[in-house]
Structures are given as structure tokens and as C-alpha cells.
Amino acid sequence: MFIEPSVNRKNTPFQKGQIEVICGSMFSGKTEELIRRLNRAKIARQKVEIFKPSVDKRYHEEDVVSHNDTSIRSTPVNFAEDILLLSGNCDVVGIDEVQFFDEQIVSVAQKLANQGKRVILAGLDMDFEGKPFGPMPKLMAVAEYVTKVHAICMKCGDLAAFSFRLSDSKQKVMLGEKDSYEARCRKCFYEDKR
Ligand SMILES: Nc1ncnc2c1ncn2[C@@H]1O[C@H](COP(=O)(O)OP(=O)(O)O)[C@@H](O)[C@H]1O
Ligand SMILES: Cc1cn([C@H]2C[C@H](O)[C@@H](COP(=O)(O)O)O2)c(=O)[nH]c1=O
Ligand SMILES: [Zn+2]
């Protein structure tokens, strides 16, 4: 069960570090859930820093933006280690599109949590082939909490855990939206997978 940390009885920020991973397919609500947790931490007067890989400029240069248009200001970074330098004395670190980071993101998340920070990471657990994506499996292993969210299958309306690519491209990294990807359940994903 995911337990949302809050302020302690002396009304000082939560001091114990932890790692939370939010994973799922495209359109499953990972970014919305990340933004929800970060906004609640802000309401609790905790100091929050948000990062995303600079490669992700789909909706906005700097903001983290959901498919439903909710957004939060973030700092784009080129390398996972940049986050260590830029997170300073904050209480909570939020990171979106984590699948695009190199493996260093795992030790970065651990270092931040060991410093007493709450680290919330959101990312795709599987790529367009249904294979584990980048550092996500390792992050899920070292996290205290893993939340898997689900989209709606665009073929049958069931819960979707897969991201179906609509084009023939075989590149692992191919940015896109509804024009390029569709959320699918297992059955509908493998039925059409070439
Ligand atoms: N197939 C779908 N299933 C669920 N939500 C969808 C779907 N297609 C579009 N959406 C929209 O996407 C929003 C979630 O967006 P977002 O949090 O950015 O997801 P993610 O970060 O997981 O890609 C939903 O609230 C909904 O408005
Ligand atoms: C499946 C898959 C996705 N991508 C890209 C497509 C989008 O730009 C992001 C995922 O964004 P979301 O917030 O989770 O909707 O990743 C990719 O590059 N390769 C893939 O296999
Ligand atoms: Zn389906």
C-alpha cells in the first residue's frame, strides 16, 4: 500500500528519505499522479524540485505537462547526475519521463533518498515492443513504493498496460502522442504486433 508521507507532529518536513515509482503505459496517468503528489507536498510547505530529461520537449521546453494539460514547472537536464547538483536542500524531488535517463538515475535516486529526500519518479515501464524500458526495472527494485497505473485500451475498452506504436519505426526512442501511439490491453497489443 502506498502511504503518502506528510509533515510530522512538530509540523516540520518529513525527514526520512524514500523512493516512489509511478509506472504504466502511455496515457495511464503517470504524469497526472506525479503532479498530484508534488502539489500536495507543496501544500504541506515542503520544498519541491522537479526535473525531466531535456530530450522530452513534446508539449513544453520546461514544464512537465500531462496529456490532460495539467502542468508543473520543471528543470530539463541532460544527465541524471545533474539532478544531484541541482536538487540542493529541497525535501521532495520529482522526475518525469524517467525511462529516458541513463542507468545513473538509479544511484542518483538512492543518493537523494539516503540524504533524507522523498524521490518520486514517473516513467514508462515497457517500450513499444513490450520490453522493460531503460532503468525502470532497477528503479522499481530499489523503491519503497511502486504504483502501476493503467490507461484504457483504445481497441476494446479494457484496462491497458501496453503502448502500441502505430508506425513501423523500430527505434527505441521515438517521441510522440496520440498520432504515434495507442494504449492497448495485452490481447489487443499482441494481436496487432508485427
Ligand atoms: N487511452 C487512454 N486511457 C486513459 N486516459 C487517456 C487515454 N487517452 C488519453 N487519455 C488522457 O490522458 C490523461 C493522462 O495523461 P498523463 O498523466 O500525461 O499520462 P501518462 O503520463 O501516463 O502518459 C488522462 O487523464 C486522459 O485525459
Ligand atoms: C512506448 C514508447 C514511447 N516512447 C515515447 C513516446 C512519448 O514521447 C514518451 C512517453 O510519454 P508518456 O508521458 O508516457 O505518454 O515516450 C518512446 O520513445 N519509445 C517507446 O517505445
Ligand atoms: Zn484491448
8-state DSSP, 133: P
Residue 40: which residues within 8 A CB-CB, separation 6 or more?
Answer: 4
Q: What is the ipTM of this complex?
A: 0.99
> Would you call 129 a catalytic residue per the annotation?
no
CA–CA separation, 159 vs 138, rounded Å?
25
pLDDT in tens, 94-147: 999 999 999 999 999 999 999 999 999 999 999 999 999 999 999 999 999 999
- One of 3.90.105.10, 3.40.50.300, 3.30.530.20, 3.30.1130.10 is the CATH number of 18-151, namely 3.40.50.300
pLDDT of residue 43: 97
User: Under a CB-based contact definition with an 8 Å cutoff, are residues 175 and 59 in contact?
Assistant: no
How close is the Cα of 157 to the center of ligand 1, in Å?
A: 14
Type of residue at 150: H
Decide whether any atom of ligand 1 lies within 6 Å of the 98 Cβ.
no
User: Under a CB-based contact definition with an 8 Å cutoff, are residues 114 and 102 in contact?
Assistant: no
Binding site residues, as ranges? Answer: 24-31, 96-99, 153, 156, 173-176, 181, 185, 188
How close is the Cα of 90 to the center of ligand 1, in Å?
A: 29
The backbone region for 183, taken as left when phi is positive above 0, alpha when psi lies in -120 to 50, beta otherwise, is beta
From 97, 103, 177, 182, active-site residue: 97
Q: What does the pLDDT average to over 70-83? A: 94
pLDDT in tens, 2-59: 778 865 545 555 568 999 999 999 999 999 999 999 999 999 999 999 999 998 877 7
User: Under a CB-based contact definition with an 8 Å cutoff, are residues 19 and 116 in contact?
Assistant: no
Instruction: Compare 87 and 5 and report the one with higher pLDDT.
Output: 87
Query: Could you tell me the residue ranges of all domains in the chain?
Result: 18-151
Which residue, by CA, sits nearest to atom 18 of ligand 2?
173
Decide whether any atom of ligand 1 lies within 6 Å of the 105 Cβ.
no
